[in-house]
Structure 1
Amino acid sequence: MEITQAHSAHITGIAEIYAWHVLHGLATFETEPPTAQEMHSRLTKVIESGGYWLVALEAGQVLGYCYLAPYRPRYAYRFTLEDSIYMHPEAAGRGIGRALLGEALRLAEADGFRQVVSVIGNSENAASLALHRSLGFQLTGVLKSVGFKHGRWVDTVMMQCTLGAGDTTLPVTSTTLSGRAGTV
């Protein structure tokens, strides 16, 4: 298995994985799968905003993906990211998600980010909750019944992971962060 920066060649696999979760799962509150073109637009936006989008590949096939994007657009949030992670259903339980998210967190910490927030759809999503806990995320809250999907009310779970020195030291200058953008 290889973990690498996502790019255009991975969009079909990314879109297929996400479509499965949209149609069958509760991790995302989207109800209509976005097109591959829309997923490419999202990838571009994440990368151009200084975020990270990684894929796990095996024999050229996308097994899963993880991205860290700016948490909110307001400037004061510039040292905080939000994660999203989705696995191909047949690749679940193999440690691939942990490898993906672990690498994304490592990159973000090296670049000076201080916090990562996770908004996990479905408080019964034991695998995602365990994954995040295993990488240092702590529960910060539950928003009860804020979504309605597949005929039921669904919670979202808020978790947070401190990177590096967290809030114990001043951050690096914003120019260090804003100058890091890749190509798609």
Structure 2
Amino acid sequence: MLEEEYQPRRELPPHLRKLPQPETPFAYRMRDAVPADLPAVREIYNYYVANSTVTFDEDAMTLKEWKAKYAFLQKLGMPFIVAEAPSGQLLGYALVAPWKPKRAYRFTVENSIYLGPAAAGKGLGRALLGELIDRSKEAGLKEMIAVIADQGAEASIALHEKFGFVETGRMGRVGYKFDRWLGTIMLQRSLK
């Protein structure tokens, strides 16, 4: 071995070294969704429509469709919340919608949580789901259902299980997207 291989590595003088930059904390606030949020909600959702199998929608939702959905959920008193960065950027959203249209199902809802790319992997999904559960209880809802794709949504399944959701069923090959068959996993949690 050569002698130079054993010599310590030289360092830059202190005045030439880069100072470590403090990490900017991931900050957000949660609030009720308002109509002005709907264009950003649409963009977040449509990203998943075009790029993933976590939603079985194949066509992007229009702003008109989001406005109708928002009005319907408001009329029913269903929670629809957003997470907003200090800059005003919408980071994600969570909502519940009626599980089925028949009156007997009126206390059972299905949840939806979607995060923008800047918010993935930072604990925001957990925060949104916790807040959604609390607000759903306050609204008098009794059961919450999550219908999750059986491929590509492992993080969503794990998140729901951490909140006490239990698997109640599976359906195979009920959706066809991106030239492949997909199934669903149903999880349920009591809000009592």
TM-score tier (shorter): 0.7 to 0.9
- Structure 1 residue 102 displacement after superposition: 0.8
Equivalent position SS for 1:72 = coil
Amino acid in structure 2 at the alignment position of 1:69: A
Q: Which residue of 2 aligns with 1:31?
A: 58
Deviates further, 103-112 or 152-161? 103-112
Tell me which structure has the larger Cα radius of gyration. 2
Q: Which residue of 1 aligns with 2:89?
A: 61
Mapped partners of 1:123, 1:74: distance in 2: 30
Does 2:20 correspond to 1:20?
no
Does 2:179 correspond to 1:151?
yes
Q: Which residue of 2 aligns with 1:86?
A: 114
Mapped partners of 1:123, 1:44: distance in 2: 32
Mapped partners of 1:110, 1:8: distance in 2: 22
- Structure 1 residue 151 displacement after superposition: 1.3
- Structure 1 residue 38 displacement after superposition: 1.5
Mapped partners of 1:35, 1:110: distance in 2: 30
In structure 1, stretches of 5+ residues that fail to align are 165-184
Percent identity of equivalent pairs: 38
Which among 129, 133, 149 is matched to residue 121 of structure 1?
149
Q: TM-score, normalised by structure 1?
A: 0.85
What is the 5 A alignment of 1:145-184?
Answer: 145-164=173-192
Q: Which residue of 1 aligns with 2:162?
A: 134
Which among 139, 145, 154 is matched to residue 111 of structure 1?
139
Superposed CA RMSD in Å reads 1.2
Equivalent position SS for 1:76 = helix
Q: TM-score, normalised by structure 2?
A: 0.82
Mapped partners of 2:45, 2:67: distance in 1: 12
Larger RCO (CA within 8 A; separation ≥ 6): 1
Mapped partners of 2:139, 2:178: distance in 1: 39
Q: Which residue of 2 aligns with 1:176?
A: none
Mapped partners of 1:55, 1:75: distance in 2: 28
On the 8 A contact 1:26/1:122 being kept in 2, the answer is: no
Aligned residues: 164
